[in-house]
Amino acid sequence: MTSALYDELIAKLRKAHVLGSVGDLLMWDEQVNLPAGSAELRGEQQAVIAQLHHAAISEARVGELVAGLEVGQDGPLDDDARTVVRWARRDHDRATKLPPEFVREKAEQGSRGFHAWAKARAASDFASYAPVLATNLELAKREAAYLGRGDSPYDYMLDKHDPGMSAAIIGPLFAELAEGLAPIVRTITSSGKTPRTLAPFPIEGQRTLLREVTERIGFDYTRGRMDVALHPFSIGSGADNRMTTRYDTPDPLDSLFSAIHEAGHGMYEQGLPREHYHTALGQAAGMGVHESQSRLWENQVGRSRGFWAFFEPRLRELFPTQLADVSSEELYLAINAVEPVVIRTASDEVTYNLHVILRFEIEQKLFSGELAVADLPAAWNATLQRLVGLTPTSDKEGVLQDVHWSDGSFGYFPSYTLGNMVAAQLWTTMVEAKVASDDDFARGDFSKVLDWLHANVHARGKRDTLLELVRRATGRELSPRYLLDYLRARYLPLYT
């Protein structure tokens, strides 16, 4: 729709979006290109752009426009306009309801917290980190209160990452998932099957492979790039999407799978409606949905029989000596290796979710006060033992392993497993509709999957919450049983 107020709002959102995209580029460049001695200038650049971005979205006129449109001052809003205005309200409130002193305090504490965490982790010294966590918790609660969610600060945190989400929704889903995962993990670990460790692959071949694979599944390199950084990530809208990977890890397939993962994020951004990148209609629905896109390509597609029927010959062409004595079945088992470990980021597709469930349980108890910060290490280890059957040998390998809480990013972890559940549920629907099929994959054709995701996920922008989107795309309520069914179908035949 178009009207004087609405058009003015759109112009302001466009400016804010463009400034955000400049901030993204500065961040990408910092990770990929920035000379070591140029960090100070980059810090100044980021501060100036962040301040201008904040000013653009918190501008009083934005508030007036949103308020006017909300009460129909410019005539009734159509559905799309309602979505745009609802999100402009949310972003404007977030930008204006937090006092500047609080924002500064939180940023400073985040920076201090990161360094305290890095030091504590290196020394496996939880005691030195405990006060940081206590302060971060306090700040998170104050932030929730400023936004009118003082009565439910953890839900506020969850909602920040996945709009509409709450512990009451996630709790039963994760409980059912944990219960279903236990026998799967038991079957696998008691199978006696041990995947082979593959010999290292030369970097040049890894680079060629991941470029071919990500291009073939549908990442549009005329609107994006792949570079090297310390940690893989992707950033930017579909107008200019920048992905990174790394080649120097012990697992020779790590660069490929992390690239497919990032390409999944990138294809979501590229699939959003191009003319709306600057409003909620052309932006990602939330972290859980974003993660569902990266996981679906990385796992459901990227570890499937059909996918490897197509790419195995090319893999052997690129790495003939490394794979000379590895049979096709051995290769496929190595690609789908499952082994419980104490580190979340080193975990396979099956046990990964148990690590997330642990963090969800603990975050709830920290916010409710049921668990004191000082008792965290013991609670962590007990929960890990219960869920995964392992106990870390030190806090470094336990409660200190993740960076997230150090700058106050609570409520972030659940999105990973929500994403896995959504991915499996979308996958089930696509398999049933013959949109996803090993036959197509084996011919190198992944277009039906991407087209379906474009139509059923990407095209929606932020119109739906995660739950609404799943309902609309799959015709069913979100449930962990699709993920459990998928894991059973894929892994049990391999580990019996």
Catalytic amino acids?
262
Largest CA distance in the chain: 72
Nearer to a second copy, 220 or 438 (CB): 220
Strand-pairing partners, residue 243, are 226, 234
DSSP letter assigned to residue 235: E
Least distance between a second copy and beta carbon 312 (Å): 30
Tokens read off for 121:
């982790």
Site for a second copy in 240-269 (CB under 8 A): 240
Strands 224-228 and 241-245: parallel
Residues 6 or more apart whose Cβ sits within 8 Å of residue 62: 9, 12, 56, 88, 92
Least distance between a second copy and beta carbon 223 (Å): 4
Any idea how long the chain is? 496
Nearer to a second copy, 34 or 492 (CB): 34
Per-residue mark of binding to a second copy, 219-238 (x: CB under 8 A): -xxxxxx-----------x-
Q: Given candidates 9, 10, 13, 19, which one binds a second copy under the rule CB under 8 A? A: 19
Q: Where are the alpha helices (DSSP H) in 162-221?
A: 167-189, 203-217
Binding-residue total with a second copy (CB under 8 A): 33
Strand-pairing partners, residue 128, are none
Per-residue mark of binding to a second copy, 21-60 (x: CB under 8 A): xx--xx--x---xxxxxx-xxx-xx--xx--x--------
Tokens read off for 208:
């060629």
Instruction: Write down the residue that tokens 């975990």 correspond to.
Output: 347
CA dist 135 and 394 (Å) reads 24
CA atoms in the 13 A half-sphere facing the CB of 158 = 23
Nearer to a second copy, 38 or 328 (CB): 38
Q: Calculate the alpha carbon distances from 355 to 255, 346, 413, 427 in Å.
A: 22, 11, 9, 23
Residues 6 or more apart whose Cβ sits within 8 Å of residue 39: 30
CA dist 470 and 472 (Å) reads 5
Nearer to a second copy, 277 or 360 (CB): 277
Report yes or no: 281 and 80 within 8 Å, Cβ to Cβ. yes
How much is the CA Rg of the chain, to the nearest whole Å? 23
Nearer to a second copy, 18 or 431 (CB): 18
Least distance between a second copy and beta carbon 36 (Å): 5
Least distance between a second copy and beta carbon 37 (Å): 4
For 277, the 3-state DSSP assignment is coil
Q: Which stretch binds a second copy (CB under 8 A): 18-26, 182-190, 200-208, 350-358?
A: 18-26
For 226, the 3-state DSSP assignment is strand
Least distance between a second copy and beta carbon 492 (Å): 42
Q: Which stretch binds a second copy (CB under 8 A): 10-18, 78-86, 128-136, 446-454?
A: 10-18
Q: Given candidates 239, 334, 442, 459, which one binds a second copy under the rule CB under 8 A? A: 239
Least distance between a second copy and beta carbon 235 (Å): 13
CA dist 53 and 12 (Å) reads 11
Nearest to 65 by CA among 17, 7, 1, 16: 7
Nearer to a second copy, 44 or 317 (CB): 44
Least distance between a second copy and beta carbon 275 (Å): 11
- 378 is a site residue for a second copy (CB under 8 A): no
Per-residue mark of binding to a second copy, 141-160 (x: CB under 8 A): --------------------
Nearer to a second copy, 40 or 325 (CB): 40
CA dist 169 and 364 (Å) reads 13
Least distance between a second copy and beta carbon 8 (Å): 17
Site for a second copy in 277-296 (CB under 8 A): 277
Residues engaged in binding a second copy (CB under 8 A)? 14-15, 18-19, 21-22, 25-26, 29, 33-38, 40-42, 44-45, 48-49, 52, 220-225, 237, 239-240, 277
